[in-house]
């Protein structure tokens, strides 16, 4: 079957780079693009005229929230309430699952629907383990894979696992609680899921190893992860280089930096993706100058998943996008929070780079668009993603540009980033199959899902109390912005 999209603006791929095609068309047969340009004279079974929209490659989110939003709770805490958002050491010894398997499946579906509504076509999930008894399970991810297939997204999936959890003691000091057997069991679940993906044999479900944060992994578990990744030929994503607490804990335990621990455990010999990648030697909290860490990442072939919106909300920024890119490091993008809006994230990143580097052209819009498409494809080793060109997979998204609230139209890409959001997405296709149609997801009752997710969020919020080292209630941990109105 041949399908054609026609639009006023098409971000095509030509001679190794994105180019802007005016009044263009994209034609695909089944799951593969066969024509990008004008004047297609071949067969057309379905013809879609998208008018003044911008058509571009589907967005690739490699740190995509697969959970109910938690940043709305934990990104604005005070020194007094902050320690209460971690597990207490007492709770860590007797932790429990806040949600049932069925409830967790609803959470996953809610998160995937959010991704689809925001124009994401390929994703790698990240979830908060704060409401799990430890980390993620094989069964959870079989459920997630089925939801992903039903919605039609392309996922790189695997359950998270860890040997330790961040805790606070009775005085509120940060530490780690270890349970190595749980870590080994988690890796076994991850390997079991690799086998499950092979049996599914679905191009939209790809396998990955997704261990938790580096400080929660023992060297033995990191080595076992590296061994398994090399044996099975799958990518590894490891959250690290993202904060000073992580750096302090790793140094206290192993006498080295997180980057040195990665090297010692063989992870540089894998297909490695690192979310955030902020705290290296050039960061102001470390040395404030380049002593070789960036070069180490480049020569190891690491991809850094840059999450500008989430990093800023937690009070940090990359130093800097332009320097990382100019050094030859592959940069891709993630959202890591709600909303999973890569358009807002790209726009924010562009302007943060201006502040960090002190010039307005530090990270132009096109560099961020490349990271959200071509950078993500490179990180996955997929030359058939992230571009609109013959032979590429038919992963596309269309954004409207005709809302008066988006202002006047100049360059369509720059206009979308400056004035729009990912909520401008109206249509998307993954592997040639429609996912988002006229701003809706066929077969998904969004209102019912929203109501179920709100109820589960209330459950998650209330559960913080039992983990708090001081036993404070949720309303004390999360006070409102303003005092409630009182009848006089």
What pLDDT sits at residue 171? 83
pTM for the structure as a whole? 0.96
**C-alpha span between 234 and 382 (Å, rounded):** 13
Instruction: Give, in degrees to the nearest 5, the angle at Cα 123 between 438 and 367.
Output: 85
Tell the burial category of 266 from Cβ atoms under 10 Å away from its Cβ (0-12, 13-18, 19+). Answer: middle
DSSP characters for 108-158?
Answer: HHHHHHHHHHTTEEEEEEE--GGGSSSS--HHHHHHHHHHHHHHT-EEEE-
Q: What is the pLDDT along the chain (488 residues), one digit of tens a residue?
A: 999 999 999 999 999 999 999 999 999 999 999 999 999 999 999 999 999 999 999 999 999 999 888 888 888 888 888 888 899 999 999 999 999 999 999 999 999 999 999 999 999 999 878 889 999 999 999 999 999 999 999 999 999 999 999 999 888 889 999 999 999 999 999 999 999 999 999 999 999 999 999 999 999 999 999 999 999 999 999 999 999 999 999 999 999 999 999 999 999 999 999 999 999 999 999 999 999 999 999 999 999 999 999 999 988 999 999 999 999 999 999 999 899 999 999 999 999 999 999 999 999 999 999 999 999 999 999 999 999 999 999 999 999 999 999 999 999 999 999 999 999 999 999 999 999 999 999 999 999 999 999 999 999 999 999 999 999 999 999 999 999 899 98
**C-alpha span between 56 and 413 (Å, rounded):** 9
Tell the burial category of 37 from Cβ atoms under 10 Å away from its Cβ (0-12, 13-18, 19+). Answer: middle
**C-alpha span between 275 and 331 (Å, rounded):** 10
Tell how many helices (H) and how many strands (E) occur in the chain.
17, 19
**C-alpha span between 435 and 426 (Å, rounded):** 10
Contacts with 199 (C-beta within 8 Å, 6 or more apart), sequence order: none
What pLDDT sits at residue 42? 93
Domains of the chain plus CATH, in order, are 1-57+386-444 (2.30.40.10), 59-383 (3.20.20.140)
Exposure string (b/e) for 174-189, b if CB count within 10 Å is 16 or more? ebbbbbeebbbebbeb
What pLDDT sits at residue 364? 93
What pLDDT sits at residue 348? 95
Q: Which residues pair with 47 in a beta bridge?
A: 4
What pLDDT sits at residue 469? 92
**C-alpha span between 313 and 334 (Å, rounded):** 14
What pLDDT sits at residue 186? 97
Helix (H) or strand (E) holding 276: none
What pLDDT sits at residue 143? 96
What pLDDT sits at residue 139? 96
Return the structure tokens found at 170. 């009775």
Three-state DSSP class for residue 317: coil
């Amino acid at each position: 079957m041949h399908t054609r999209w026609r639009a006023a603006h098409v971000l095509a791929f030509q001679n190794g780079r994105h180019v802007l095609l005016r009044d263009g068309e994209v034609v695909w047969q089944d799951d593969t693009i066969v024509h990008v340009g004008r004047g297609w004279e071949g067969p057309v079974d379905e013809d879609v005229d998208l008018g003044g929209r911008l058509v571009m490659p589907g967005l690739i989110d490699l740190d995509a929230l697969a959970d109910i939003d938690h940043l709305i709770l934990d990104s604005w805490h005070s020194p007094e309430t902050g320690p209460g958002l971690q597990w207490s050491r007492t709770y860590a010894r007797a932790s429990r699952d806040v949600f049932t398997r069925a409830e967790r499946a609803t959470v996953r579906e809610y998160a995937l629907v959010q991704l689809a509504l925001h124009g994401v076509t390929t994703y790698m999930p990240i979830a908060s383990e704060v409401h799990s008894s430890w980390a993620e399970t094989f069964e959870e991810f079989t459920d997630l894979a089925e939801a992903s297939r039903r919605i039609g997204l392309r996922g790189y999936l695997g359950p998270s696992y860890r040997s330790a959890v961040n805790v606070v003691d009775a005085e509120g000091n940060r530490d780690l609680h270890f349970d190595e057997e749980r870590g080994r069991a988690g890796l076994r679940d991850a390997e079991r899921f690799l086998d499950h993906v092979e049996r599914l044999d679905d191009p939209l479900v790809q396998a990955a190893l997704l261990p938790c944060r580096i400080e929660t992994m023992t060297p033995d578990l990191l080595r076992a992860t590296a061994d398994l990744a090399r044996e099975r030929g799958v990518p590894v994503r490891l959250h690290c280089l993202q904060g000073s607490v992580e750096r302090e804990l790793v140094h206290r335990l192993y006498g080295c930096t997180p980057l040195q621990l990665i090297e010692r455990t063989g992870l540089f010999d894998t297909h490695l993706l690192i979310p955030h990648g902020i705290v290296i030697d050039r960061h102001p909290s470390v040395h404030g100058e380049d002593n070789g860490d960036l070069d180490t990442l480049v020569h190891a072939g690491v991809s850094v998943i840059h999450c500008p919106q989430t990093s800023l909300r937690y009070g940090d920024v990359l130093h800097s996008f332009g320097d990382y890119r100019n050094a030859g490091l592959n940069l891709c993008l993630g959202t890591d929070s709600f909303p999973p809006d890569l358009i807002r994230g790209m726009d924010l990143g562009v302007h943060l780079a201006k502040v960090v580097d002190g010039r307005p052209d530090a990270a132009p819009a096109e560099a961020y668009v490349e990271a959200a498409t071509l950078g993500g494809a490179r990180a996955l080793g997929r030359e058939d993603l992230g571009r609109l060109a013959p032979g590429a997979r038919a992963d596309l998204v269309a954004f409207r540009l005709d809302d008066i609230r988006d202002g006047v139209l100049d360059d369509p890409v720059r206009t979308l980033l400056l004035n729009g959001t990912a909520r401008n997405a109206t249509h998307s296709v993954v592997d040639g199959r429609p996912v988002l149609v006229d701003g809706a997801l066929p077969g998904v009752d969004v209102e019912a899902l929203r109501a179920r997710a709100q109820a589960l969020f209330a459950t998650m919020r209330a559960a913080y109390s039992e983990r708090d080292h001081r036993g404070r209630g949720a309303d004390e941990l999360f006070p409102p912005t303003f005092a409630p109105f009182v009848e006089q």
